[in-house]
Structures are given as structure tokens and as C-alpha cells.
Amino acid sequence: MVPLLLAGCGDGEDVGAKPDLPDETPALWNPCDALDAAFIEKTFGTVAEENDGEPAEPVCRFAPDKESGQPLVTANYSLFSGSLADLWETMGQPDDANVSQPDIADADDARVVVAVVKRQLYVDGFVENGDLIQQVEVVAPPPFEQDRIVAGVEKVLARIAAHAEKSGAGD
């Protein structure tokens, strides 16, 4: 019934020309702007090419060959008008997850969550720069070096927070 009502609006008058739309979608923020394959290899031991998606659909992923046994590293972001603490209240964490709040330079707030599920390590890091909440996810198959991976996630958080601060993202 709603489509019929909408179709009847306008009393038969011409709607007019469509507004001009931009030819290109503007580039969105991409955490890969601050990361590269050499940094990921040095930090996690992951040998992979950077996949930064498309301008309108940015992703930041470093996926090694499945047989390599190396960690998968992904970074993404959200724009959120509240704080990371506000967002945190809406997210659920596994009961056995270890959550810390590292002090990350250039960030308003940060969290790191560590969980081992079915012998696989999951480390999620979150960093807030104003309205920009960036997330780093690392999945490491066994055998993994948990301390190295957690320290690596904190290094990535520091790098993407510094880049966001320098570029004014999230303001």
C-alpha cells in the first residue's frame, strides 16, 4: 500500500531533472594508508601483499597463504559519534577474553582483547581518534607467539592512531 501512496504524490506534475551527482565516490579513510607489507612482516612475521580494497569500499588486509601458518591481519574503521567506552558497552566479549587498555600515543582511548578459541589466537585492538574508531584483528593459528602478537597489535594501533591524528581524521 505504501508504494501506491508514494506513486500518487505530485499531482501529475513533472518531478524535474535529477540533481548532478559526483562522478566518483570520495575516498574514504583507510587504515592501510598507515600500514604496509614490510611493517606487517616485521611486526607479525606475516608475508603477504597489502589488499586495500577499492576507494569506495576500503579494506586493509594482509592474508598469507593458508599453509604458511602465519597470522592474518585485518584493519578497518567505523565513524562513531560517541566514545570508544560508549561503543564498548554495546559489544559483547567472550567470558574468558583478556581485555586491556594500553596507553597509545595520539589516541583518545584504546582496548585490546585476547582470546584463544579452539587453539587459535584472536587479538582485537581498538583505538579512538575523535569520531574515528579503528580496529585491528589478528588471527593466528597454532603454534603462535601470543606476546609478540599482542605487542604487534599495540604497534599497529600506535601507527594508525598517529596517522589519524596527523591527518585530522575523526575530528
Q: What is the pLDDT of residue 169?
A: 75
26-167 maps to which CATH number? 3.40.1000
pLDDT tens digit sequence for 112-149: 999 999 999 999 999 999 999 999 999 999 999 999 99
Q: What is the pLDDT of residue 78?
A: 86
pLDDT class of 170 with cuts at 50, 70, 90: low
Q: Are 111 and 99 in contact (CB under 8 A)?
A: yes
Q: Is the pLDDT of residue 17 over 70?
A: no
Report the Cα 69 to chain-centroid distance in Å.
23
The string of DSSP letters for 7-74 reads: HTTTTT----PPPP--SSPPPPP-GGGG--HHHHHHHH-----EEEEETTEEEEEE---GGG-PPEEE
pLDDT class of 51 with cuts at 50, 70, 90: very high
Q: Is the pTM of this model over 0.85?
A: no
Which residue ranges make up each domain of the chain?
26-167
Q: What is the pLDDT of residue 95?
A: 67
